[in-house]
Structure 1
Amino acid sequence: MLEWIVNTVNSLGYFGIGFLMFLENVFPPIPSELIMPLAGFVVTQGKLDFAHVVGAGIIGSILGALPWYYLGKRLGLKRIQFLADKYGQWLTVSGEDVLQAKQWFDRRGNLATGLGRLVPGIRTYISVPAGINRMSFWTFLIYSTIGTAVWVSLLTYAGYLLGENYEQVKKFLGPISTIVIVALIIMTGSWIIKRKTRQN
């Protein structure tokens, strides 16, 4: 897969980056943790511009999130869970994954849409509960774009710094993802405590 990603970025440039990031959102097994750092490395060679690389990554990623959003909006939770359990092995998603994303979204709403784009494994599926809950399209687009811009910029800059060792980026993402998850748990806990306090 790495060779295919390298060839696509080298031959198609910005369009290739956008295309790969679109596929990464539609087919999660394709890792953005390789695509954008590789693009950052290509920037160091003077072949591409950093800002345009980030822009291409954001556009491709958001376009890839839209089918999931509209899928959630059209089908609803139960039907999506059924389809995920039946066919999800092709996309590495199960009905339980969809339910967890929905529960996470219910706790934090708009914020979950943005922060969810920063967490590998959740960043794609967070679009589904946004659709299920019929979040406004423009609200979804704004929060998704903010979260995606942070994620894409981080990956691209990491690849830019690491140069030929861009494949090592994945090792550095573990602690960052953990920090984001812990922050979300803390925010969710505080929200639950405040809610219970109001009820009492």
Structure 2
Amino acid sequence: MTNLIETLKANSLLIIFIIMFLEALNLTGIPAIVIMPAIGVFIKNSGHSFFVVFAIASLAAILGSITYYLVSSKFGDVIYNFFFNKFPSTQKSLTKAKEIAEQYGAKMCLIGRMIPTVRTFISLMSGIFKVKFKDYIIYSSIGILIWNLVLISLGYFGYILSTMNF
């Protein structure tokens, strides 16, 4: 057990990268709104640099989002229909994301990253509706950076506040 804990500690930044990459692909089953504050608490407890962990988590999220965009630009219609038909609970979110994509185009990548249920499908919608790749990267990266900074900071500073004696 001690070896496992030591291995996890030694590879914690890689683990964060993998989790955030998979979260951007919607494969973790745990939403970013849960993962990122936990990363903030981790930063405070681990002694790692806030900036370094934030950069790793953000890079992973951006790369995961780009991967999802590229896959969805190739197979987007199939993916959209699969989720829509196989998981009826996603229909409302998918419909909302589609409406936003049609209304805002590339700007949805920035705006949508701030809306918890919509952000899940931004890369999918961007690929399906063929948002220009350069615009997708710019707007999506800005949105990811803002979202990550806010949520990681909430965990980081929330933990500090929780340990203070008032």
The two structures share one fold, judged by TM-score above 0.5:
yes
Give runs of aligned pairs for residues 23-172 of structure 1, distance below 5 A. 23-26=22-25, 27=27, 29-45=29-45, 47-77=47-77, 79-88=78-87, 94-163=90-159
TM-score (norm 1): 0.67
Q: Aligned with 1:122: secondary structure?
A: helix
Instruction: Report deviation, 1:165.
Output: 7.8
Look up the match of 2:20: 21
1:103-156 C-alpha deviation (Å, 9 max, x unpaired): 211111122111211221211201112112212222111111100000101111
TM-aligned CA distance change 1:85 to 1:129, over 3 Å: closer
Gaps of 5+ in 1: 1-6, 167-200
Aligned counterparts of 1:152 and 1:44: Cα–Cα separation in 2: 16
Aligned counterparts of 2:39 and 2:136: Cα–Cα separation in 1: 27
Over the matched positions of the two proteins, sequence identity in percent amounts to 27
Instruction: Report deviation, 1:94.
Output: 3.5
With a CA cutoff of 8 Å and minimum separation of 6, indicate the structure with the bigger relative contact order.
2
- Superposition RMSD on alpha carbons, in Å? 2.8
Aligned counterparts of 1:165 and 1:18: Cα–Cα separation in 2: 26
Aligned counterparts of 1:14 and 1:29: Cα–Cα separation in 2: 20
TM-score (norm 2): 0.79
Instruction: In structure 1, give the amino acid aligned to 2:59.
Output: I
Q: Aligned with 2:118: secondary structure?
A: coil
Aligned counterparts of 2:7 and 2:133: Cα–Cα separation in 1: 31
TM-aligned CA distance change 1:87 to 1:64, over 3 Å: farther
- After TM superposition, the structure 1 stretch with the greater mean CA deviation from structure 2, 13-22 or 80-89, is 80-89
1:33-84 C-alpha deviation (Å, 9 max, x unpaired): 232222222322352110111111111112222233123311344x333211
Instruction: In structure 1, give the amino acid aligned to 2:83.
Output: A
Aligned counterparts of 1:120 and 1:147: Cα–Cα separation in 2: 12
Instruction: In structure 2, give the amino acid aligned to 1:68.
Output: Y
Gaps of 5+ in 2: 1-5
Aligned counterparts of 2:75 and 2:39: Cα–Cα separation in 1: 36
